[in-house]
């Protein structure tokens, strides 16, 4: 989630390249055009474009249908780019494990306190376009302090989606999250299998 142009699609394309064949798919949300989904496919990952028309955000129903069309690989990472704005996407639960907000250094450090819901909903803030810091008037410490004022637990990762700086930490965050989710899923499946086996044993032991 982020303002238009802060680098969501660029970051996703770079992430896909760095994942180097690990299963990943993308759902793209924009009011119009399929340009972002085409950029993702050109980077080597399956992508579904959702056009929201006059709508300013994706919702879980749209995401559910897109997942059906994607036919996700087992234990795949699914990334969702919401419609570019700092207001509507904060309010909708898409079933995601994490909301990630991007703030780029060309937008001004005050955005976390002007649009607090976005930064409160996010577990991570990616401070993007840090390669441009020498050329813009942007106070990094103030931006981080503002983000922590609205969300003391927010994790901040400084990145440049174009130069690749900081993306190692971003990839580590993704990989850690994915392995915890896969481990939690395996535990649930194992527990359900044990319950089914116990019920089947009970059924076999009971008179017909």
109 binds, among ligand GTP, Mg ion, none (CB under 5 to 8 A by kind): none
Closest CA to 11 of 94, 88, 115, 101: 101
Q: Which is nearer to ligand GTP, 49 or 151 (CB)?
A: 49
Per-residue x/- marks for ligand GTP, 70-89, CB under 6 A? --------------x-----
Kindly state whether residue 9 participates in binding Mg ion, applying the rule CB under 5 A: yes
Stretch in the footprint of ligand GTP (CB under 6 A) among 108-116, 127-135, 143-151, 176-184:
127-135
CB-based contacts of 42, cutoff 8 Å, min separation 6: 13
Out of 1, 8, 86, 119, which residue is the one contacting ligand GTP (CB under 6 A)? 8
Per-residue x/- marks for ligand GTP, 163-202, CB under 6 A? ----------------------------------------
15 binds, among ligand GTP, Mg ion, none (CB under 5 to 8 A by kind): none
Phi then psi for residue 143, to 5 deg, are -60, -45
Kindly state whether residue 123 participates in binding ligand GTP, applying the rule CB under 6 A: no
- Gap between the Cα atoms of 20 and 174, Å rounded: 14
**Would you call 54 helix, strand, or coil by DSSP?**
coil
Kindly state whether residue 43 participates in binding ligand GTP, applying the rule CB under 6 A: no
H helix or E strand, kind and range, residue 25: strand 24-30
Residue of closest CB approach to ligand GTP = 84
Q: Which is nearer to ligand GTP, 93 or 165 (CB)?
A: 165
Hey, CA dihedral for 181, 37, 93, 95, is it positive or negative? Answer: negative
- Calculate helix-pair angle for 8-19, 167-205, nearest 10 degrees: 70
**Would you call 126 helix, strand, or coil by DSSP?**
strand
6 binds, among ligand GTP, Mg ion, none (CB under 5 to 8 A by kind): ligand GTP
Kindly state whether residue 160 participates in binding ligand GTP, applying the rule CB under 6 A: yes
Kindly state whether residue 10 participates in binding ligand GTP, applying the rule CB under 6 A: yes
Residue 100 has which token pair? Answer: 């990630």
Q: Are 106 and 132 in contact (CB under 8 A)?
A: yes
Q: Which of residues 10-39 bind Mg ion (CB under 5 A)?
A: 36
Torsion of the alpha carbons at 137, 165, 43 and 173, rounded to the nearest 10: -110
Contact set with ligand GTP (CB under 6 A): 2, 4-10, 30, 36, 84, 128-129, 131-132, 160-162
């Amino acid at each position: 989630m982020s303002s238009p142009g802060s680098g969501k699609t660029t970051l996703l394309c770079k992430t896909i390249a760095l994942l180097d064949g690990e299963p990943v798919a993308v759902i793209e949300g924009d009011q119009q055009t399929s340009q972002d989904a085409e950029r993702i496919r050109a980077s080597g990952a399956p992508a579904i474009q959702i056009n929201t028309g006059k709508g300013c955000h994706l919702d879980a129903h749209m995401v559910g249908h897109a997942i059906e069309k994607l036919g996700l690989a087992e234990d795949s990472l699914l990334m969702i780019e919401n419609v570019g704005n700092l207001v509507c996407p904060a309010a909708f639960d898409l079933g995601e494990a994490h909301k990630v907000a991007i703030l780029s250094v060309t937008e001004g450090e005050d955005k976390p306190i002007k649009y607090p819901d976005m930064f409160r909903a996010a577990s991570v803030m990616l401070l993007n376009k840090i390669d441009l810091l020498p050329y813009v008037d942007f106070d990094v410490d103030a931006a981080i302090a503002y983000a922590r004022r609205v969300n003391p637990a927010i994790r901040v990762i400084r990145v440049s989606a174009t130069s690749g700086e900081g993306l190692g930490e971003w990839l580590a965050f993704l990989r850690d999250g994915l392995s915890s989710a896969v481990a939690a899923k395996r535990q649930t499946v194992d527990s359900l299998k044990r319950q089914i086996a116990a019920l089947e044993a009970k059924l076999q032991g009971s008179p017909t």
